[in-house]
Amino acid sequence: MDTTLPTGRRGQALAAGLVILTMAILWLGVISPALDLYADRADRIDALRARAAREAALIEALPSLQKQAQILSRAPTRAVLPGNSDAIAGATLQEQVQSMAGGVNAQLTSIETLPAEQVGAYRRIGVRVELSAQLAVVIELLRAIEDAQPSMLVDDIRLTATPVSPQNAQLPLDAAFTVYAFRVGTAKDDQP
């Protein structure tokens, strides 16, 4: 077996090729993966630093946000009924509904305060309203309730028309519905 290696230009070219092949294998097998791993770790460290900076800013802002939340929780809001008890809030709601009915020339035949219910941190206060009026007046009253402050909800609407009417006569409808609004508090807040 002849084990002589090429010499001269041919040997130099073969040696250069082996060096290039070895460098390529080292690059693809060792150096490139190591550089990718380093870049991934550097990106991960940058992301963690950015996250830590955001969290530090949030932690720094937390006391002022808590103070602001306390101030806002004590401040009266136009989204809920005023009053420290269900009775006061119910009377306020009843008065507002009667005022809105008067504003649209609707004559209420009955208004009844309903028992309050706990809904999360709020008490749902309701009144049951009955009236006899033209459809346009009922719609105006419902629109006034929708636009009211504090926010009010209408539920369980029932409209009853007169069964027999002369042609072109606009007889009143009997309308009944429930109006709800909320106040901040719980049932134990009502206890003396």
Whether 172 is covered by a domain: the verdict is yes
pLDDT at site 151: 84
Question: To 5 degrees, how large is the angle CA 108–CA 109–CA 113?
Answer: 80
Whether 80 is covered by a domain: the verdict is no
My answer on whether omega of the bond before 172 falls inside 30° of 0, hence cis, is: no
Tens of pLDDT, residue by residue over 42-69, are 999 999 999 999 999 989 998 988 888 7
Tens of pLDDT, residue by residue over 95-142, are 999 988 888 888 888 898 888 888 888 888 899 999 888 888 888 999
pLDDT at site 168: 56
Judgement on whether residues 170 and 143 belong to the same structural domain of the protein: yes
Judgement on whether residues 65 and 95 belong to the same structural domain of the protein: no
Is the pLDDT confidence value at 75 over 60? Answer: no
Round to whole Å and give the CA distance between 192 and 175.
38
pLDDT at site 189: 59
Element housing 90 (H / E): helix 86-103
pTM: 0.56
Domain edge (last residue) among 50, 75, 100: 75
pLDDT at site 171: 72
pLDDT at site 44: 93
Judgement on whether residues 67 and 21 belong to the same structural domain of the protein: yes
Judgement on whether residues 70 and 47 belong to the same structural domain of the protein: yes
Could you give the number of structural domains in the chain?
Answer: 2
Domain edge (last residue) among 52, 75, 98: 75
Is the pLDDT confidence value at 1 over 60? Answer: no
Judgement on whether residues 90 and 70 belong to the same structural domain of the protein: no
Percent of the chain with pLDDT over 70: 87
Judgement on whether residues 150 and 178 belong to the same structural domain of the protein: yes
DSSP 120: T
* Host domain of residue 42: 1-75
Tens of pLDDT, residue by residue over 7-31, are 888 888 888 888 999 988 888 888 8
> Looking at residue 144, which CATH number applies to its domain?
3.30.70.60
Q: Which of 124, 128, 119, 135 is CA-nearest to residue 172? A: 135
